Structure 1
């Protein structure tokens, strides 16, 4: 037995926990208390959960009384080694525990996010007449932080103050952190100011409190004061202030991205001078800051100097590329990540799938892209397969992102399959499926899905209603449009300009111009978005005169038209031969987008009016981007008005741009015929 005890103590001193556990299991008899205490110390030192459990089991099996100092030490060891539930059960059977064991239990609960259980255990501690020490309060304030119980925190703060412990540096630092997490910044500031022995941890606690509550400006001002007072800034300080820069980019209307970028770059340079250039945590924070500022080159440089970037760093870089809509770079980086055998988490897959969706959108918009929709879909399906292998399909945000991607890839069947497989659908899931239907002109299916959504009592968001209004306008479902109007007003969404504009558009599409105008008139000072919606609503209802009247009212109100305005007005005028709108186009169509479709409509309108002077002037502006429709519209106008001279001049240009010869000669033949009569 003495030999075994010596062996166990030797293993303990060498830190060989596994060997000590094995030797303990081989002992078929009770050991001296001193040996058990040595083993328990080894457990605490090495945070060995298994050895702690085995030591307690060995004591029980061999009927060693777990009481007194030994019992107290076993409870403390179990708690410190992560077996807090075992510790709590054992503590209930003991007549007395010291403040050290109670504090270990409280800390274990708080550290694992079980704040309420920590506070319940503290009540038992008080009933047993045990006075808390400073470490007890540290654990209690940490528990309040985990459950954001400000009221209990203030009560404990008052208790700590009455015991003279509130100004203790360690307790004070935890109180600051607790108030910060509970959103009580003024209380945190009061404690911070009252601390006479502030250290770097104190300053970091206050800085972190500001960041917790998105007060990036206050955080940076306090950091400046910290510098002025000569307080040493450590690694945590720089991570916090870089996070403050990110908050400023997201929330501050006063500072531009450029100004925040200058501040962040200065902070990053200081971290490099301090020797943190390759530190992963600082590097990731700086990388995220550059990503939020949109400075790709600096983000890439920061990423490249990191010696072993972890998943968070890779995700930050992916997030930048996705935010900048550099989808190809994002997917290439993701492929490189796979080759480097870096572990991907759910965020990695969300970003990669988003990149695939962006690429699909670009492929739809620019048909000249090398990457086709089918290729984007192939990439998306491969990512979907990887996600299934990883077991992430149970996560609703992952499923929602896949759903959006399939919608953009025009893969409705795949989108429906993902949607039907979502266990816990949220509003985003429904919206993604509705958007997919609307994007692919499947309005009837969108309306059917909305009915299911209503049957299941799912509350619609503003995005839901935008989709349904679009579908109503396309299908002419006036009754549903009125129902959605009621939902908008009832939910208080009628203050959303984009939603109100969509409602006006939808009523127009349903040929209910009076209701469209009623919604529009409910705003004392309509925005350009609402004016455009009203013009579009009249146009959708095939009332070009109505569109023109609203346009004139808009001009009289001093609202300058934009390209969206003309996109609604000009096609309506063209369809109805209303050349009156030309007087609003300036000398040569100034202010109108050079989009080919609109350019051709303007040419058609000038041609209908026989205004060849302005027609030639406008065409010279858009000549470099003109397509065959533009040229034929011009020749058609010449034919309609018998302008042989201009037609001959245009014919030479037509031949030079190598358009199809047959139709050109037919049009020219018509021009000559018109000029003959």
Structure 2
């Protein structure tokens, strides 16, 4: 325990223990040693002093010092004082030791409302919202009437476990007691409804409040962001400013998240400027939101500018940068950043590892992925379902279905994301039968497929030539599971039908689509025309492709190859000449490859891979 920096005089302590208690609260760096020194100074602390010390312990989560104070309370005989016991319960709850809180609570001959409140808030703070609600029920059964603070704690509990109906029940009690217009209660109601996803109820409470402070406005903004309504969040932020309410750091974070979800770069830059004008300190919390916003909006230059100016960077900030590079297709930069993060001594968390695995998957860096897997095991993050799903996805995309299946089979349970990662891997590697078998297993486990599941299945059927199975899955998706077909599903079906030679059926499907066809779907049919030598349809498909993407070299190449395959060499050369005139350049085939632990881009030249650029081995 630290030594006192300043010690109050004996006379001051003896004369006015209440003033000493206030000093204890204000000067947190001296409260503990002074308390322990009181008996040695000949001064016996009174209950008010002990309550002040316990409050200080609670405010800084100083559990061990709180236990020390508890021992002195027992020796002094003050433990029987009701408000001292309530403060003990409160201190243990705020310090996260509900076991100690329950021990004191159960010894009390009777509990007042303050003690029940302390227990309720303690469980909420410890992430045990359901236990807090159960305690509230027990409190009422024992005839203790809740006060405003109780019901605010209950609302917080409801928000933490998304218990909307229980929250509405608490709201009814608040109305009955006439507390619904109270600013403190109103803010908690808005926050509860917003976190439970009922923005209509949140807005109704918000509009009835006689005045709204920054906490209330922020709760509404965060609620809209959480519900995926970024536009409404930005509208509310503008209205908040018009009302003259100054945003705080939490408000800015919510608005930046809204900009990120909408990829609204200019709005995000405007918010950034407002933060500078408000002298909002660029701490790790706000800085991470700025980095994340710029990264999700695709402006890594701005993200780096903020990142480099931050006085300190935590795992969240590093992860935002890593994810940003992955989303921008810069997987190797993401891995380089991960290595730099470790060199600076910042410990990655589960979300960091998800980003790293996605980076490995994007550049097919299998050995890097395996090293990341080892690091995950060392960090004890392997049990995280998101990490496990990302491991399956990484191994599948890196071509190691054996490792993907091994990770998948060791998972205690699988959600739809787990199954999609595995099915997508089978589809990618042309293992149609394995995809079909595992889909049956998925159904047997009672996991409900989503639209991505059927993209994987239809792709697997297309690559394996399973026409009948593909048609069956398409019907299953639209009729049984009521999942509307999207462009990705139509593209898979056109590819499936086209590869099997059902060219007219494929064209009819495109023409009957409710959504507008893109170049990719026309190109899928053009590729099928090349396989089956249908020049007439191929010409129509090529025209469609080049209307949408006039500089798409692939359209020219497929048409040229179609002419060449059918013996029309002159037409083939003419198409090639048109391609050059339009400056539609062919991109050489390339892939990320690993040679002696060096990751680099391999370009295909004359059918042989050549390592063009590498990064040094780690």
Of the candidates 278, 285, 297, which is equivalent to residue 409 of structure 1? 297
Does 2:373 match 1:485? yes
Does 2:434 match 1:550? yes
**Aligned pair in 2 of structure 1 residues 444, 136: CA closer, same or farther (>3 Å)?**
closer
**Aligned pair in 2 of structure 1 residues 195, 389: CA closer, same or farther (>3 Å)?**
same
Does 2:83 match 1:170? yes
- The residue correspondences of 1:265-284 to structure 2 (distance < 5 A) are 265-284=168-187
* Residue 623 of structure 1: aligned partner: 513
Aligned mates of 2:97, 2:345 — CA distance in 1: 37
Count, aligned residues: 534
Deviation sequence 1:338-387 (CA, Å, 0-9, x none): 11111211111111111111111xxxxxxxxxxxxxxx222111111111
* Residue 248 of structure 2: aligned partner: 345
Does 2:313 match 1:418? no
**Aligned pair in 2 of structure 1 residues 520, 168: CA closer, same or farther (>3 Å)?**
closer
**Aligned pair in 2 of structure 1 residues 511, 137: CA closer, same or farther (>3 Å)?**
closer
The 8 Å contact of residues 134 and 165 in structure 1, kept in 2 or not, is answered as yes
* Residue 583 of structure 1: aligned partner: 469
> Per-residue deviation at 1:403?
1.0
Work out which structure has the larger RCO, using CA pairs closer than 8 Å and 6 or more positions apart in sequence.
2
* Residue 53 of structure 2: aligned partner: 140
The 8 Å contact of residues 467 and 497 in structure 2, kept in 1 or not, is answered as no
**Aligned pair in 2 of structure 1 residues 356, 137: CA closer, same or farther (>3 Å)?**
same
- The residue correspondences of 1:342-421 to structure 2 (distance < 5 A) are 342-360=245-263, 376-421=264-309
> Per-residue deviation at 1:391?
2.6
> Per-residue deviation at 1:191?
4.0
With structure 1 as the length reference, what TM-score do the two structures score?
Answer: 0.69
Does 2:146 match 1:237? no
The 8 Å contact of residues 570 and 602 in structure 1, kept in 2 or not, is answered as yes
- The residue correspondences of 1:148-187 to structure 2 (distance < 5 A) are 148-150=61-63, 152-154=65-67, 156-187=69-100
> Per-residue deviation at 1:287?
0.9
The 8 Å contact of residues 585 and 591 in structure 1, kept in 2 or not, is answered as no
* Residue 590 of structure 2: aligned partner: none
- The residue correspondences of 1:28-39 to structure 2 (distance < 5 A) are none
Aligned mates of 1:538, 1:231 — CA distance in 2: 61
Structure exhibiting the larger radius of gyration computed from Cα positions: 1
Bigger share in helix: 1
> Per-residue deviation at 1:634?
7.5
Deviation sequence 1:293-347 (CA, Å, 0-9, x none): 1111111111112222111111111111111121111111111111111121111
Deviation sequence 1:491-532 (CA, Å, 0-9, x none): 333434443443444344444555555555666877654454
Of the candidates 208, 214, 232, which is equivalent to residue 121 of structure 2? 208
* Residue 298 of structure 1: aligned partner: 201
Aligned mates of 2:108, 2:475 — CA distance in 1: 69
Deviation sequence 1:438-479 (CA, Å, 0-9, x none): 111122322332332343343333333333333333333343
Structure 1: segments with no counterpart, 5+ residues: 1-84, 250-259, 361-375
Structure 2: segments with no counterpart, 5+ residues: 479-483, 549-554, 567-618
Does 2:597 match 1:597? no
**Aligned pair in 2 of structure 1 residues 241, 615: CA closer, same or farther (>3 Å)?**
same
Of the candidates 104, 108, 117, which is equivalent to residue 19 of structure 2? 104
**Aligned pair in 2 of structure 1 residues 514, 192: CA closer, same or farther (>3 Å)?**
closer
Deviation sequence 1:586-613 (CA, Å, 0-9, x none): 1754227612132122123224334589
2:210 partner SS: coil
Q: CA RMSD in A?
A: 4.0
**Aligned pair in 2 of structure 1 residues 272, 567: CA closer, same or farther (>3 Å)?**
same
With structure 2 as the length reference, what TM-score do the two structures score?
Answer: 0.75
2:294 partner SS: helix
Q: Larger deviation: 522-531 or 438-447?
A: 522-531
2:52 partner SS: helix
The 8 Å contact of residues 438 and 446 in structure 1, kept in 2 or not, is answered as yes
1:492 partner SS: coil
